[in-house]
Amino acid sequence: SEREEGLRPFEEVKPALRSIALHQKKMEVLAPQVEKFYTSLSPNSDILAAAASLPNIVAQKTGPFRPSGYPANVGRDLKFIGTALGLNVGQISKPVEGTRGYYILKLTAKTPFDTAQFNATKKQLADALLMEKRNAFFTQWLTTLRENATIEDHRQHFYR
């Protein structure tokens, strides 16, 4: 089907806008509660035990995850992952507004970067990146060539 350009009708976008507004309002209501909980924590606090005493707070362990992965019970939330990467072991983060709610993180362990494994796979990674770059360059070159081509149709002379 074809749509005319311009703004979509309000009735068409109303459900999406409603869910966005509802989410924002919930986050505004939760912000003071989360800040209060955060100020009650000390650097040595057990977040799971502290959260167990409050009815509206859910505390869970994610387990190990990679920066490119999906932490358990969180999903692909870039603010959560970025905050976790910036923490030191044992450090508690300030409240972070994520896609599913607020997070307060305590980093329990951090695996150091494995240079031996990286050095072993560095050649394959470089080759894969070079191949990807070559393919992108070739595709761009071919697209530009097609756009700038002048084509003359002489089929009538050939099929006589």
Could you give the percent of the chain with pLDDT greater than 90? 31
Nearest of 27, 38, 148, 150 to residue 98 by alpha carbon = 27
What count of other Cβ atoms lies within 10 Å of the Cβ of residue 41?
Answer: 15
Buried b (16+ CB within 10 A) or exposed e, 120-159: eeeeeeeeeeeeeeeeeeeeeeeeeeeeeeeeeeeeeeee
Q: Can you give the pLDDT at residue 67?
A: 81
Q: What is the pLDDT of residue 19?
A: 94
Give the residue carrying structure tokens 């459900």.
Answer: 15
How confident is the model over 75-95, as pLDDT tens digits? 888 898 899 888 888 888 999
pTM summary value: 0.63
Q: Which helix (H) or strand (E) holds 135?
A: helix 115-148
pLDDT tens by residue, 114-159: 889 889 999 999 999 999 999 999 999 999 999 999 888 888 888 7
Q: What is the mean pLDDT of residues 31-44?
A: 87
